[in-house]
Amino acid sequence: MTQPFIDTDERLDSIPGTNFSLIQKIDGTAFAIDTLLLANFVKFRPDMQTAADLGSGSGILSFLVKHRNPALAITGFELQEEFVDLANRNLQMNRQFSDLCFEQMDVRDIPARILPESFDLVISNPPYFQMGSGRLPTRPGRAMARHELNGTVKDFVEAATYMLPYGGRFCLIIPTSRFYEIVEYLKAGNFGLRRLQFVIAKEGEQSHLTMIEAERFFNGRHEPLPNIIIHMKNNTFGPEVQQIYSVGLKPYQP
């Protein structure tokens, strides 16, 4: 493993469920368990060859999905230059990952800069909070990662609509409070829900996050998956999270 430059506002983190490490910012933009859950949720098809990660940040989701399916060629698209640089340094450090790259691009510019229907799979952990809602972080990087300052969830859905052909899949994680809003955006892009899984922060509480797999022009019934509980009442991890930490992410088996 090559050791790249690590800045004073960064740290080297081992990634649960994997055998590699990544550089992460210590300003609150480091990966959280929602990224691990989404990476584990993604379902592959044998005919999938290319994937795009919208709002790829430090590259964590791309690396996790690539770890599960090494044959998949993945491109991460990220607006913030410092995070593109960070993702590329992570790539430099983990040279075992081939066919993985990161580009600086605003999701709103994707229709003007890439070919339509050029990916089989789109994955995304988009900004959760609408402009004007919640407390805006003081650090610009975290603010842009968590709030819709430069691109809304609607923009992310529209980019995925442009990028995916008939039958293309879109996997994302969003706040449950915005579920019906985002379903309307998906419908407008001719997506149908394939799979749906709710995430609960602590046993006995309501769901706070939802993972969605949507398919272009699918009009069948979706598959509701069992809820994932992150923490049980006794503060231990729920079974799905414990599985990731102890056994690892599910490897893709064609």
Q: Is residue 125 part of a domain?
A: yes
Residue 252 lies in a domain: no
Which structure tokens are listed for 173?
């994680």
The pTM for the full model equals: 0.90
Pick left, alpha or beta for residue 195 (phi over 0 → left; psi -120 to 50 → alpha; otherwise beta). Answer: beta
Show pLDDT as tens, one digit a residue, over the chain (254 residues).
556 678 888 899 998 889 899 999 887 666 789 999 999 999 999 999 999 999 999 999 999 999 999 999 999 999 999 999 999 999 999 999 999 999 999 999 999 999 999 999 999 999 875 554 455 445 554 444 444 446 799 999 999 999 999 999 999 999 999 999 999 999 999 999 999 999 999 999 999 999 999 999 999 999 999 999 999 999 999 999 999 999 999 999 88
Asked if the structure places residue 66 within a domain, the reply is yes
Residue 253 lies in a domain: no
Query: Cα 108 from chain centroid?
Result: 17
Q: What are phi and psi of 177, to 5 degrees?
A: -65, -20
Number of domains in the chain: 1
Which CATH number covers residue 21?
3.40.50.150
Range of the domain at 104: 10-246
* CA dist list (Å): 244 to 99, 140, 183: 25, 31, 28
